[in-house]
Amino acid sequence: MIPAKDFLLGHPVAASAPCRIDSGGTWDIKALALPFERIRPTTVNMALTLRSKVTLYPYEPGIVKIHSAGFSLSEIFPADRLPFDTRFGLFFAAVSYFGLHGIEVRIDSQSPVKSAMGGSSTALVALIKALCVAVGGTRGRPLSRGEILYLGYHLEDGVSGGNCGIQDQAAAVYGGVQEWEWRYGHGKSVFKRRPLLDRKGQQALSRRLLVAYTGKPHTALKINRQWIRDFVSGRTRAGWLKVNETVRSFGVAVAAKDWNQAARLIREEMAVRREITPEALTPLSRELIEKAEDGGCGARFTGAGAGGSLWAIGDVERIDNLRSVWERRLAGVKGARLLNCTIDPSGVIEESVP
């Protein structure tokens, strides 16, 4: 292993990446996508200007320290015994991959902790980018965006024991508004990426989006496992196939800037998800989604739901009306709030360090 001071002494390194909201999430998981590659499994995700920043500093030789804002305790371990099963185990695995010791990793996320917007995957992508900048890449060359995506996905999938999706890392790497077709059976690339909006279109979409945090942290593992188990058994498969059709149509509507059609399709996706995954809705998230639908918008939970965040789409007037409705309802909920964000056109980038 290499001492980080060789790269970082006097020159701390930082990188950041955006979190995301999505439509079609879970179709990026291999257990769903690979057997049904013939139907072109698709997700659409929208990167947000709620970024996770990772900064690297030199530390005591032979030691790795990781600290994240929002968590009270740091984790500090000898570099030759880094655990991959702790709260920050995924980030220790990334440091181990690059073979560094004597390093401190500081993570600062603008999205709420456990908000179901891909926070851990986003921070991992930012960490990989920062480590690449610090050591000059791997095998003597910088990593491309695609290589950062693959490394982040495989690290997370391997450390977690499998059944991870890849869309969170994809949004963090590329940013913008993207449609992804997941093709795990292809040897050269597991995805086909289609940007849906240019910068002007992203600005138009930002004006028609609303994002809120419910105040309740989410835990994705239990919900994701149930979704996969029910799909594999065949019990909910018809519903998931319907979701995929709807998401593909949603991508078409977004690319055409047909915001009312996009809202209708999110309502359609949410109707199916209510049937196949009712446990992903809390009483508050159910109420907020219903208020959005009553007002002519479409809304759904982010990620695996069961807490975390929600997002809504609709024309400008309807979104403005919904903003007032959601704001009043969230005012009495501890920790809950609207999130001030827009579409982030950039993916992972190197940041300056003051």
pLDDT value of position 299: 97
DSSP states of 195-260: E---HHHHHHHHTTEEEEE-SS---HHHHHHHHHHHHHHTSSHHHHHHHHHHHHHHHHHHHTT-HH
> 3-state DSSP helix/strand/coil percent for the chain, to nearest 5?
45, 25, 35
pTM of the model: 0.94
Gap between the Cα atoms of 100 and 98, Å rounded: 6
Gap between the Cα atoms of 215 and 310, Å rounded: 11
Q: Which domains does the chain have, with CATH numbers?
A: 2-197+344-351 (3.30.230.10), 200-338 (3.30.70.890)
- Give the pLDDT confidence of 175-212 residue by residue, as tens digits: 999 999 999 998 778 899 999 999 999 999 999 999 99
Angle between helices 283-294 and 259-276 (to 10 degrees): 150
DSSP states of 30-81: HHHHTTTGGG--EEEEEEEEEEEEEEEEE-STTEEEEEETT-S--EEEEGGG
Residue 164 has phi, psi (to 5 degrees) of -90, 150
259 within 8 A of 208, measured Cβ to Cβ: yes
pLDDT value of position 138: 58
83 within 8 A of 92, measured Cβ to Cβ: yes
Ranges of residues in the chain with a pLDDT under 70 are 137-140, 219-221, 305
Gap between the Cα atoms of 30 and 166, Å rounded: 9
Which run of H or of E encompasses 149?
helix 145-160
